[in-house]
Amino acid sequence: MNRFEGPGARPAKIRYLDGDFQILMPGSHVVCAVTGEMIPIEELKYWSVARQEAYVDVHASMTADQRAGILPTQR
């Protein structure tokens, strides 16, 4: 059994705030909006307040910003 299995292995419902987040419904993880990877709550560092999305790392965060037109795409 891995850490995402078992009774507490459901995604958490989170409200993403500036510099912090609020857990609305407990769970063991959230899912990256770009890659679909599971992110343990204790490892969550990247998110968008405007889009209310979590990201596994800075690269996924930048990809989301590019898709939203916030950052220019690389050539």
- Of 51, 54, 29, which is closest to residue 41 (Cα–Cα)? 29
Q: What does the pLDDT look like over 23-56, one tens digit per residue?
A: 999 999 999 999 999 999 999 999 999 999 999 9
With a threshold of 0.85, does the pTM exceed it?
Answer: no
Q: Note whether residue 26 is domain-resident.
A: yes
Give 21's strand partners: 16
Residue 21's domain comprises 13-67
23 with 13: CB under 8 angstroms?
yes
Q: How many domains does the chain have?
A: 1
Give the HSE-up count for residue 64: Cα atoms under 13 Å, Cβ half-sphere: 21
| Residue 62 DSSP SS3 | helix
